[in-house]
Amino acid sequence: MKRNLYIGIDGGATKTKVRIEDADGCLLTEAQSGPGTIRTNVSKAWYAIIDGIQTALHKIDLDLYDQTHHYHVGLGLAGTEVAESCEEFLSQAHPFASIALKSDAYTACLGAHQGKEGGIIIIGTGTIGLKIEKGVVTTVGGWGFPHDDEGSGAWLGMEAIRLTLESIDHRREPSDFSKAIFRHFKKDLDHMVTWSNQALPTHFAELAPIVVEYVKRKNPDAIHLVERAGVAIARTYDALVKQSTLPKLPVSLLGGLSHSIEPWLPKRIRTRCKPPQGDATQGAILMIKKSEGFIV
Amino acid sequence: MKRNLYIGIDGGATKTKVRIEDADGCLLTEAQSGPGTIRTNVSKAWYAIIDGIQTALHKIDLDLYDQTHHYHVGLGLAGTEVAESCEEFLSQAHPFASIALKSDAYTACLGAHQGKEGGIIIIGTGTIGLKIEKGVVTTVGGWGFPHDDEGSGAWLGMEAIRLTLESIDHRREPSDFSKAIFRHFKKDLDHMVTWSNQALPTHFAELAPIVVEYVKRKNPDAIHLVERAGVAIARTYDALVKQSTLPKLPVSLLGGLSHSIEPWLPKRIRTRCKPPQGDATQGAILMIKKSEGFIV
């Protein structure tokens, strides 16, 4: 009889994370590979996923194509809001015994609350709020950039460019922060403008660490940006809670920028947020085990 | 001896306007054709320009390829901030006796002040401030969307989408305005989100008339947007004036949205703005006449 292994995939805009557990929930191996979002390129995402799984399996002397194992894969991928991408993804041939696909936000929520009811707000390149209650998923935000995603890394980077351009053409006073952004482009205005006109959300998000750095240095321009981000995230939080039937919906803040924005949230929210109990790869494993009937 | 005719071109993101004058400055004919911006497609812009000129000439029984005329063309085109596009444009073979190329904002400023010193603020799909003093050009804004162009039609449309999405997922209260935007998309959220994720600045700007309509209906959400646009335009105005050596820099507001935003500018600005004396095609003719030494 074949042995069942459970693979959790967290596929985002910049990287794919892989976690492999046995039937008892013991971690066997982990790995990382390239971008796993299906928003733009489904084949590239599949390649990154297969590549990451192979890397993880080789660490424990297994192979995706051996005949001694059943591999069950839970996939939490960015870009699942694009219906055609999901269809295309699921229509591909694959070597797995079973697969289940949801958004990376969904599996992050499952992981954060170990499959129990609760909500999350992810503050990364983009930002989204999501809660799961009685199996029903509710999302707030995450509709895309630049018309949504306020408070995200992409938004912080775009606003940093905006105020730097304004300081260059005399619409506002320059500050140490706007000067630092300009230095990032080697004080080459043509370069900065061309870059901005072609920048994807992930590119704008690369500037977020400069914002965070100048918040630490108490620069008023940078502080004003994280204050605005805090207001946006607070509204996402309130929208999740407003739609909840739980007296105290547990909410976790996730994503690379969550620690930088958290201090700028109202105290009532800061004191209510709880640390995540697991990550999106663990959530993806919970999902595939559930969909295969191994857990209820 | 060949007769000299002067052609002024105003090439924007949505259309190209053509004006043809004789050496005495008498208007002979006018026409319009497709988009004349060189930001994305130089050949398409050349095609629109040639097409528009032919249409105008045929109205007065002339042809671009007859041998009895010298055609001198002043071109004010959107997209000239992209250096490669300018080079590519100017490297094309053409049937004209002479050409001169500058941005559509530059020729609009020449036209507005009949070649004299002054400034303009264009509030259209995008927004830019520009002044010409002693032959020196100074620009404010116009660095591109979404990281600049605050207060423009594209920006108004993007912000309209933002608050509509927020009203749908419970981050803010719905209003008649957000409902009107949603109705524009036939209340189809998937459609609205897909459209937004693919929208170019010109597409977002198509929503600006709905904003203007709901400002007239005194909707607080719509009013808040034009108030913010007014603040952005006021900063552009102040940046132009700050960099001027003239005691009273004459400034004209131009562009399809200028009349909608003007009431939301501070009174000190409203009373200082003066109506344009001519349009960008007239400015383009002034430019080519000047570059050919016919006027100083």
Q: What CATH number has the domain bearing residue B158?
A: 3.30.420.40
**β-pair type (B127-133, A251-254):** unpaired
Nearest to A82 by CA among B101, B201, B193, B214: B193
Looking at the fold, whether B65 and B107 belong to one and the same domain comes out as: yes
Looking at the fold, whether B94 and B130 belong to one and the same domain comes out as: no
Q: What would the pLDDT profile of A188-203 be if each residue is shown by its tens digit?
A: 998 999 899 899 999 9
Residue A139 forms contact with B (CB below 8 Å): yes
Residue B161 confidence (pLDDT): 98
Looking at the fold, whether B146 and B269 belong to one and the same domain comes out as: yes
Looking at the fold, whether B84 and B127 belong to one and the same domain comes out as: no
Q: Are A49 and A74 in contact (CB under 8 A)?
A: no
**β-pair type (B136-141, B127-133):** antiparallel
Which among B137, B145, B147, B204 is the top mutation candidate for probing chain A, defined by the most A β-carbons within 10 Å of its own β-carbon?
B147
Distance from CA of B244 to the nearest CA of A (A): 12
Looking at the fold, whether A29 and A170 belong to one and the same domain comes out as: no
Residue A235 forms contact with B (CB below 8 Å): yes
Confidence of residue B295 (pLDDT cuts 50, 70, 90): low
Instruction: Flag whether A252 is in a domain.
Output: yes
Looking at the fold, whether A178 and A225 belong to one and the same domain comes out as: yes
Looking at the fold, whether A124 and A150 belong to one and the same domain comes out as: yes
Beta bridge partners of A21: A6, A27
Q: What would the pLDDT profile of B33-49 be if each residue is shown by its tens digit?
A: 999 999 878 999 999 99
**β-pair type (B69-77, B3-11):** parallel
Instruction: Flag whether B296 is in a domain.
Output: no
Q: What would the pLDDT profile of A231-245 be if each residue is shown by its tens digit?
A: 999 999 999 999 999
**β-pair type (A98-103, A69-77):** parallel
Q: Tokens for A104, please give them.
A: 């990376």
Looking at the fold, whether B192 and B125 belong to one and the same domain comes out as: yes
Instruction: Flag whether A296 is in a domain.
Output: no
Instruction: Flag whether A18 is in a domain.
Output: yes
* Domain count across chain A: 2
Residue B294 confidence (pLDDT): 65
Structural domain range at position B97: 3-114+277-291
Looking at the fold, whether B162 and B58 belong to one and the same domain comes out as: no
CA-based nearest residue in chain A for residue B241:
A170
ipTM above 0.95? no
Residue B139 forms contact with A (CB below 8 Å): yes
A147 interaction partners in chain B (CB closer than 8 Å): 158, 161-162, 165, 196, 199, 204
CB contact under 8 A, A172 and B238: no
Residue B296 confidence (pLDDT): 47
DSSP character string of B256-274: TTHHHHGGGS-HHHHTTB-
* Phi/psi of residue B188, nearest 5 degrees: -105, 100
Looking at the fold, whether B253 and B287 belong to one and the same domain comes out as: no
Whether the upstream peptide bond of residue B146 has omega within 30° of 0, thus cis, is yes
Mean pLDDT of B176-185: 98
Instruction: Flag whether B17 is in a domain.
Output: yes
Residue B13 confidence (pLDDT): 84
Distance from CA of A225 to the nearest CA of B (A): 14
Q: Kindly give, in sequence order, each residue whose CB lies less than 8 Å from that of residue A131, ignoring residues fewer than 6 positions away.
A: A109, A117, A118, A119, A120, A137, A138, A240, A243, A244, A249, A251
